[in-house]
Each structure stands twice: as structure tokens, then as C-alpha cells.
Amino acid sequence: MSAPVRSIAVVGAGVAGLATALACARAGHRVQVFEQVPAFAPVGAGIQLGPNATRVLHDLGLESAVRAVAAFPAELQVRSGTDARLLGVLPLGEQAQTRYGAPYATLARADLHHMLLTALEAQAQVSLHLDCPIDAAQQDSSAVQFSTADGMVRRVECMAGADGLWSKLRSQVLHDTPPSATGHIAYRALLPQADLPEELRSAVVTAWLGPNFHAVTYPVRGGAWLNAVVVVHGAGEGESDNWSQPATPEALAAGMHGAAPVLRDLVQAMGGWQSWTLFDRPALRGAAQMGAARIALVGDAAHPMRPYLAQGAGMALEDSWCLARQLSRPGLSAPQAIQAYAEARWKRNARVQKRAVRNGLWFHSSGARAGVRDLGMRVLGARALDLPWLYGHRA
């Protein structure tokens, strides 16, 4: 039995949408991508991708594109956010490559997005429609039908909802409530390392853990730029949206009580900070939350998660690969393939969502609980930080 050729609509052209479209196009399907923004702007700052995620990029034929724009830090250092003491080290670099067969990479999100977009544009059987929001779709026993802003009605065999945290397709398919604010705010900045004093430049991933805050710094763009993200407790602004807003170093420093001088210096030196109010949803409870019949949900639309395991984009990449594989299986109808995708993905996504919440609690702890955390890292060493179930996974 030969592999089917399907017509697929992908709604949203973030990391999840572009990766899904690319994986489906490379499998021979006809793909239409609909994105609401009229032009892509650099959104977000840096992104860490574990070997589980870079493996998907390699499978998508992007190994050399990743090499051209990523950094491959030699290690993750965990430090106290109050006195900069080294608490634990996880070797990355060659060791991650050898252990997991794919690298641990750090990239600017804009570079990852551009890489996926360039690869997608080279695929003949893909059409990309910008300035084209899709807010609703109907499905029957043979197709998914939806209208575009120009009044055209389109029918496709199936649809991937990759429309992010505030997914309209999700609310239509699952009839659930919007995501909720976590009570945390993320501040992010990206700067050429050459613009920083030498003592603040870095070639490794560093996680700084403090009471009610943490910071992560890592190199991107072959090491030429430094990405910093600081997460603090607070209500934030823009409760109904996830777009970032400019933030002053002073606003950010106010949430970092007791931060080590080196962190305060970093906050002042970086500049260009943007803030995101962080939202999430409870962990997935079943396959039915990853789609219904001919509409699959991928990425943040299906499982928005806290960034404390650095895996939101990673899970989006795994989803995309898995969905394309299931849709390409001979003998499966589109609803059967989407059901198989949902069954294959929901438990892993739920596990990562839960682990991310737990990490946040440990990262931001203080007093005796922080003591237990620090002792655990001292005793267990790299074993406390390595996650074979996460990094060794093949989507």
C-alpha cells in the first residue's frame, strides 16, 4: 500500500506551524500555511534546544542550517542567584552529542524561525499565505472547510492548528477556557557579546537560582551574541495577550531581591529588555485534548508550558515530526492518523508540562527547600541535571 498524499492546512506560522508544514511537505503532502501577521518580525529572544529537538531539525534536513546559526555550549552551570556560587554542572557539547546522538544547541528564535521558513519556501508543494487569519473551521466526514479573509471557501483533508497560546482553533475544537496567568513575568534581552564588559560575556549556559526569581544566560549566533532571560514573580501586564513589551532594567531588578552583584550588573549592561507575562494551562489529561477528527493541535496551541525546562519549542518540533509521520502511514484515514498522533504525543507533552512546573518551584525556592535543592546537586552532580527520558527521545 503506498503512502497517501493529503491536502493539509496549517494555521499559524510560528515554530510549530512551520515545522509541521515542512515535515508534511517533505513527506509529499500538499500544504497550505495561513498566518495572521502580514510580515514576520523577530519575536522572542533565545531558545535552547535539547538533543530531542535538534534531532528533529536534523531529520528535517536542517543539520547544516543549525550549525550555521546556533551555539553549542560546552556545559550548563547552575549557580546561586544570590552569591554566584557554583551549585552543579552538566556537560553538554561533545558529551551531549555522544550520549544522545544530537547536539544541545542554543539559538536566537528569529534564526530558528528563518531557517524553517527558508526550508519551507524551497518546497514546491507549499503555499504560504500571510495576513490571513483563520478564526474558525468546520469539519464533516470528508473534509475541513474554512474561509479566508478574501471570502474564499477552502476544503482540505485535514488541518493542523498551530496558532499558539491563544489558539482560536483550540477553543473551537475543545470548547475550553483561555490559558491562565502563572503569576510570573519573563524578561528577555539579546545583545552582541562585544557590547558587554568582558566579565559578563559567556560561552556556556548558566542558570542562576534565587528566591522568587531565576535567570538563564547563554550564547547564540555561534557565540557572538548573549541571550538573557530573567523570570520574577508578579502579576505583569497585558493579561489578555502574550505579546512582549519594553521593560526597564529597574523594573526587572525590583523583582530580584537579594540578587548577586554580577546579576545586577548583567541586568544593567544588557539593555533592550522585553517583558512577557507568562501563561499556561494544566497538563494534558488525554489524547482528546490534542485534536478532534480532522483537526490536530500542535505546539503551544495544544500544550502551552512554563519555560523552566526550555522545551516549548522542542515539544512543538517533536509534535510536527510525529504528526507528519502519522499522516503518511499507508492505510490510515486522516482522522485515524490524527488519533494516532494524539495518542503518541499527549503523555510525553503532559510529562514535560508537569516537570516544567516542578522545576519552577525548585528554581525559585528559598530557605530550607533551597538548601535541599543545593545539597541534591552537590551529591548527585550531573545526574541531578541530566534528563535521558527527555533528551534521548526520538519523536
Ligand X SMILES: Cc1cc2nc3c(=O)[nH]c(=O)nc-3n(C[C@H](O)[C@H](O)[C@H](O)COP(=O)(O)OP(=O)(O)OC[C@H]3O[C@@H](n4cnc5c(N)ncnc54)[C@H](O)[C@@H]3O)c2cc1C
- Binding footprint of ligand X on the chain (CB under 6 A): 11-17, 34-37, 44, 47-49, 133-135, 162-165, 168, 186, 188, 229, 276, 299-301, 307, 310-314, 316
Interstrand relation of 46-49 and 138-139 (parallel, antiparallel or unpaired):
unpaired
| Least gap, CB of 313 to ligand X (angstroms) | 3
| Least gap, CB of 276 to ligand X (angstroms) | 5
- CB-neighbour burial class of residue 235 (10 A; exposed 0-12, middle 13-18, buried 19+): exposed
Distance, in Å, from the CA atom of 149 to the CA atom of 8, rounded to the nearest integer, reads 19
Amino acid identity, residue 330? P
252-274: burial string, b at 16+ Cβ within 10 Å, e else: bbebbeebbeebeebbebbeebb
In the complex with ligand X, the residue whose CB is nearer, 14 or 103, is 14
In the complex with ligand X, the residue whose CB is nearer, 16 or 24, is 16
Q: Are 198 and 244 in contact (CB under 8 A)?
A: no
In the complex with ligand X, the residue whose CB is nearer, 48 or 289, is 48
Give backbone dihedrals phi and psi of 88, rounded to 5 degrees, phi first.
-170, 160
The set of catalytic residues is: 218
In the complex with ligand X, the residue whose CB is nearer, 44 or 249, is 44
| Least gap, CB of 36 to ligand X (angstroms) | 4
| Least gap, CB of 361 to ligand X (angstroms) | 17
Give backbone dihedrals phi and psi of 2, rounded to 5 degrees, phi first.
-85, 160
Interstrand relation of 126-129 and 30-34 (parallel, antiparallel or unpaired):
parallel
Q: Are 181 and 195 in contact (CB under 8 A)?
A: no
| Least gap, CB of 309 to ligand X (angstroms) | 8
In the complex with ligand X, the residue whose CB is nearer, 36 or 365, is 36
Distance, in Å, from the CA atom of 313 to the CA atom of 53, rounded to the nearest integer, reads 8
